[in-house]
Amino acid sequence: MLMADGLVKRFQSRTNVITAVDGIAIAVAAGEVLAFLGPNGAGKTTTIKMVAGLVRPDQGRVTISNIDVTGRPALAAAHLGAVLEGSRNLYWRLTCLENLIYWGTLRRLTPRAARTRAVELLRLVGLEDRQHNTVQTLSRGMQQKLALCQALMHRPKLLLLDEPTLGLDFASSETIKTTVRDLARDGVAILLTTHQMDVAQQLSDRLAIIRSGKLVLSGTTTAILTQYSKPMWRITTASPLPTDRIAAVRALGWQVEQPSAEAILVTPREDDADGIYQLLDVLRPEPIRLVERHRADLAEVFQQVVEEGANAQ
Ligand SMILES: Nc1ncnc2c1ncn2[C@@H]1O[C@H](COP(=O)(O)OP(=O)(O)O)[C@@H](O)[C@H]1O
Ligand SMILES: [Mg+2]
């Protein structure tokens, strides 16, 4: 659905040239959520704006459904919906319904079709009770949900979301996340940036992490989380483990850490799938509550990737 290739954007400041985006390629297929991540200033917003045609790249090309939209905001807008950081294209004195109908007609819907679509979307995000309230009376979470409705009025096949859940209360965040998942299930391609790693982990099929305008890690979310997981287990018992049991585990060749009296973190010398059975035998008959394999979460991955990079520079 989206193909962006070799994107480069430089900004001229008074004293020097900043290369905000330095050769980034991204692709998002129909029905896929790509989490586009990076520390502050990495170039995420600039990239998204190039995809939306709002910033003209110095190099590179953007196509949506094979249509070249590079630097063409009107053409890009016809094919995508966007909720961009900070700027919500909402009129404060108009009601929710009026905003959506107005926007829908700009996107070439008839007033009648726009009204039907608006009511449908307001219902989808739980704003139907607010349809006749002006934007200025809405909470931030409600405004964000309305901005999402606005982006969806013309049923775009590509959705750009820059920090969609930043600063929202729990319920509004959940609504936005559920809506994103449902849209992807219906075949919409979604490009999402966020600093909330839990949100990215829950929603994304694939990840692209950038730093200083360059791609540093990309792949499917599952594969990346597996790759960064350690061959370590956490075993929790119902009562404190006797020291002789811990010694016996060490004698089997496991490295043992003990974060609390009722838990041990064990790492085998070699990652051997059967080793855990021997280890549990050694602990018999201690009452075991939980045996968990270590699984990296995206926050750990992100920290490693971004820190490793920073140290290497
Ligand atoms: N209009 C602009 N003029 C000059 N520099 C800019 C402009 N927009 C962004 N930048 C710079 O480009 C870099 C990337 O910014 P941005 O894309 O906003 O990063 P992110 O969204 O990942 O935080 C930063 O160093 C930022 O200061
Ligand atoms: Mg940004």
Grade residue 270 by pLDDT with cuts at 50, 70 and 90.
confident
Protein residue with its CA nearest to atom 17 in ligand 1: 43
pLDDT for the residue numbered 89: 81
Question: Exposed, middle or buried, 243 (CB in 10 Å: 0-12/13-18/19+)?
Answer: exposed
Protein residue with its CA nearest to atom 1 in ligand 1: 11
pLDDT for the residue numbered 65: 96
Please compute the mean of the pLDDT values over residues 102-127 and round it to a whole number. Answer: 96
> Does residue 313 surpass a pLDDT of 80?
no
Distance separating alpha carbons of residues 99 and 150, to the nearest angstrom: 8
> Does residue 55 surpass a pLDDT of 80?
yes
Residue 228 maps to a domain = no
Specify whether 92 is located in the same domain as 119.
yes
Specify whether 169 is located in the same domain as 287.
no
pLDDT for the residue numbered 86: 67
11 CB within 6 A, ligand 1: yes
Mean model confidence pLDDT for the chain: 94
Question: Exposed, middle or buried, 63 (CB in 10 Å: 0-12/13-18/19+)?
Answer: middle
Residue 213's CATH number:
3.40.50.300
pLDDT for the residue numbered 71: 87
Judge contact between 131 and 95, C-beta under 8 A.
Answer: yes
- Under 8 Å CB-to-CB from 61, ≥6 apart: which residues? 3, 4, 5, 6, 68, 70
Please compute the mean of the pLDDT values over residues 76-95 and round it to a whole number. Answer: 88
Half-sphere exposure at residue 24, Cβ-oriented, CA atoms within 13 angstroms: 34
Bridge-partner residues for 24, per DSSP? 7
Which pTM value belongs to this model? 0.89
Protein residue with its CA nearest to atom 7 in ligand 1: 11
Residue range(s) defining the domain that contains residue 202:
2-219
Specify whether 204 is located in the same domain as 136.
yes
CA–centroid distance, 38 to ligand 2, in Å, is 9
Specify whether 103 is located in the same domain as 243.
no
40 CB within 6 A, ligand 1: yes
pLDDT for the residue numbered 279: 93
44 CB within 6 A, ligand 1: yes
pLDDT for the residue numbered 303: 94
CA–centroid distance, 47 to ligand 2, in Å, is 9
156 CB within 6 A, ligand 1: no
CA–centroid distance, 206 to ligand 1, in Å, is 24
- Displacement of CA 58 from its chain's centroid (Å): 27
pLDDT in tens, 22-31: 999 999 999 9
Specify whether 165 is located in the same domain as 268.
no
Specify whether 156 is located in the same domain as 33.
yes
Specify whether 81 is located in the same domain as 201.
yes
Distance separating alpha carbons of residues 22 and 212, to the nearest angstrom: 8
% of the chain at pLDDT higher than 70: 97
Specify whether 24 is located in the same domain as 86.
yes
Please compute the mean of the pLDDT values over residues 305-310 and round it to a whole number. Answer: 80
Grade residue 274 by pLDDT with cuts at 50, 70 and 90.
confident
Residue 131 maps to a domain = yes
Mutate to test the pocket of ligand 1, among 9, 16, 46 (most ligand atoms within 8 A of CB): 46
Specify whether 148 is located in the same domain as 280.
no
Which of these three, 173, 196, 219, is where a domain ends?
219
pLDDT for the residue numbered 189: 98
Specify whether 46 is located in the same domain as 103.
yes
In 3D space, the residue among 91, 81, 92 whose CA is nearest the CA of residue 148 turns out to be: 81
Helix (H, G, I), strand (E, B) or coil at 57: coil
Distance separating alpha carbons of residues 111 and 131, to the nearest angstrom: 16
Specify whether 33 is located in the same domain as 129.
yes
Specify whether 146 is located in the same domain as 258.
no
CA–centroid distance, 273 to ligand 2, in Å, is 43
> Does residue 312 surpass a pLDDT of 90?
no
Distance separating alpha carbons of residues 231 and 97, to the nearest angstrom: 54
Most confident of 31-35, 225-229, 239-243: 31-35
> How many domains does the structure of the chain reveal?
2
pLDDT for the residue numbered 87: 59
CA–centroid distance, 113 to ligand 1, in Å, is 38
Protein residue with its CA nearest to atom 18 in ligand 1: 45
Grade residue 149 by pLDDT with cuts at 50, 70 and 90.
very high
Protein residue with its CA nearest to atom 24 in ligand 1: 41
254-289 as b/e: b if 16+ CB within 10 A:
bebeeeeebbbbbebeeeeeebbeebeebbeebeee
